[in-house]
Structure 1
């Protein structure tokens, strides 16, 4: 059982009114996703920052995370991320990676990306490309590391929502943030860290602007079963005009999908019968766009029998052509895990700053990106690493950890790095959303050229793997 202090907002019948408390912490973290848990573990694993009192506040229950290590679900969950070698190194450094459930992760050493309109492709082959891991598995390993550290100055409130954030004085430059909790308690903190996602209340409290735009696209995720196990450890991605579709490896016959597409088509995909969805998903990695458009129309009209019959014939006819090598495509999908399909809107956002007086932002609170590069979670881990290093340096210099002088090195390092990556991913998305023939020809030529230049490919692989 977990031994660190967890406070719950659950109320029990009582004849007396419980006394509300104000807690005082050096660092208060809002959000217990991968970034928030990683920050809490890293602060307590660091010899310099471990003396800081830390509060971690999460609106949802952490019971599923705590129970994961002892009784993981039979099937893989649909929230899966690609973790770079650099992120794994950091998780090892803070002592968390040893708790990961190794049976539920899948390293991959090859990425194949190809154009849905021209079939031009690029292949990356690197032993340290990345590791596919369920988000809850990562959260579990971080929570177990926190348990191992068993630090009494770390307090966790789960099932506890933030109802308000305000300064304890009218002078914002000198005041400390006070967080009001749904259980009636409050937390006064020297440094408030927002790891609370895209709609960050912490960012709004700090009056930090976030700029960006919606892509008018949704990501459809699903947990899948392959017809047979693929021993090639390949992450597949095909760029369609409506958005990229990716098939990412998990252990044995399991895989996870992220299909970026239009709002209308995403709604259709999550509501289709399972056999129809699998048939369309198989087509998305192989057949020409004109065939896909025809099948989308049949699916919208609920002409499922005709759709399945035609797909079977067309798929067999297409893959039997002498010019088509079936090894150039993913293993065929067999089934989708029931209730694993979900969709979410895709957007780009970047905060103007990651810090203000007594406030820092990490992860999605600071930036969101298109999933085509699989870098969202890794950007958050990079934020955590940099923030802890900045706080460590501030403490060694005798600075107040909530002061801008202590926080600005974090922002100065991470904002430019993240801005470059956000820009590259955004431009890739826009480039492959164009179906105008001259543009398709130029980008296909460029892809073929890059694929033929080992030195350039090695450089790009280092950017993807973080090494």
Structure 2
């Protein structure tokens, strides 16, 4: 016979683990929360990837009690510059700059290596008494009356819950089984990720260089280290990743410049295909999509992870509010509230990142002139820049309580 639970979460990544912690906080220790993912059998892999946690995401992690475990590994971004040039240009003039605070003493983002955050979230979930199952959720089926949903795991166990949250990634198995269609397009680009050692300090400064082949982001890490996200045509990206370390570093230096002195390669570069994907429905029956299962966007603005954490803050708040009113945690009113809350923000961010990539991944002269004039105009408008910073920090619009740093 299946076990009973308030919620089953398919996927043990950022979104799945943060959702489990948020619901533990809001529903209390008596709530049975189950997370299923084969990756939970071992610590997170060191794959060289790091993420920019916007101010709202940092507030969420603080509200969940995880941030104190991350401060030593978190590198604040205190300054950001944007350039638009060709690879061979000897000088990369700065067209746009951003000061890095949304509030006095609060940076608009921190860079942290993914594995550090995943391990901290998993440890917090175990300490909170959340059931961690190292097996995939294969199926999620509403029962005959639609009052509960049955989650079936790869190890043979089954759990009857009020709700199943699919946080199982951009190629979500549960989304596909539910027949939820998607809007998608392949960018024919790949994002090359690598970690560099620097001769000179980065001074907490991030850089975004818009090049004809795609954006090249330099993102500071703790110590004299940095993460790069280098967007290029997929075939070119594969070529760059096959280079010897010294040759790869030379190519990076050609795009980055000499400001940081001699560069060394800490982690081998890896290329990840880029695409745009948005689910046509965020909920179906008692299934809710969160994180990459609901949307995948271009990394040009570093917002993919933060968009997923906004999902879980909204879903957790809707469920906890329902519980306090004695309502069904996975009922249609709860899930429709979640879907309404997240739909517009997701579509807006997807359109913005797609538009930025299209606008800047070209070397057409007239278009370069127009966009450089646009950047120059924004540079001279402090109010507009502050609005952009707040949006990038995740603090614009109707912000769920967790993203304001408040308990739910």
Q: TM-score, normalization: structure 1? A: 0.79
Aligned to 1:246: 217
State the 1:333 CA deviation: 4.8
Contact kept? 1:99, 1:145, Cα under 8 Å: no
- Find out whether 1:110 has 2:79 as its counterpart: yes
State the 1:334 CA deviation: 1.6
Matches within 5 A, 1:62-211: 62-65=41-44, 77-100=47-70, 102-117=71-86, 119=93, 121-127=95-101, 128-149=107-128, 151=129, 154-158=130-134, 160-169=135-144, 174=146, 176-211=148-183
CA change 1:386–1:165 in 2 (3 A) is closer
Matches within 5 A, 1:283-294: 283-286=254-257
- Find out whether 1:45 has 2:25 as its counterpart: yes
Contact kept? 1:112, 1:236, Cα under 8 Å: yes
State the 1:431 CA deviation: 0.4
State the 1:175 CA deviation: 5.9
- Find out whether 1:410 has 2:390 as its counterpart: no
- Find out whether 1:257 has 2:228 as its counterpart: yes
Aligned to 1:73: none
State the 1:203 CA deviation: 1.4
2:263 paired residue among 320, 326, 334: 334
Number of residue pairs matched by the alignment: 385
Contact kept? 2:140, 2:287, Cα under 8 Å: no
- The alignment partner of 1:60 has SS state of helix
CA deviation map 1:311-367 (0-9, x unaligned)? xxxxxxxxxxxxxxx6xxx414521125x3111111111112211211111100011
CA deviation map 1:385-434 (0-9, x unaligned)? 11011001211222211211111111111111121111111101000122
- Find out whether 1:381 has 2:281 as its counterpart: no
Contact kept? 1:166, 1:205, Cα under 8 Å: no
CA distance in structure 2 between the aligned counterparts of 1:391 and 1:256, rounded to whole angstroms: 36
- The alignment partner of 2:57 has SS state of helix
CA distance in structure 2 between the aligned counterparts of 1:77 and 1:165, rounded to whole angstroms: 30
State the 1:141 CA deviation: 2.1
Contact kept? 1:99, 1:144, Cα under 8 Å: no
CA deviation map 1:252-286 (0-9, x unaligned)? 11111110100111001111000000000010124
Which has the greater radius of gyration? 1
Contact kept? 2:142, 2:286, Cα under 8 Å: no
- The alignment partner of 1:434 has SS state of coil
Unpaired runs of 5+ in structure 1?
Answer: 1-20, 69-75, 287-325
- Find out whether 1:447 has 2:365 as its counterpart: no
CA distance in structure 1 between the aligned counterparts of 2:67 and 2:118, rounded to whole angstroms: 10
State the 1:179 CA deviation: 2.8
CA distance in structure 2 between the aligned counterparts of 1:162 and 1:385, rounded to whole angstroms: 22
CA RMSD in angstroms comes to 1.9
CA distance in structure 1 between the aligned counterparts of 2:337 and 2:138, rounded to whole angstroms: 31
CA distance in structure 1 between the aligned counterparts of 2:108 and 2:23, rounded to whole angstroms: 28
CA distance in structure 1 between the aligned counterparts of 2:121 and 2:309, rounded to whole angstroms: 12
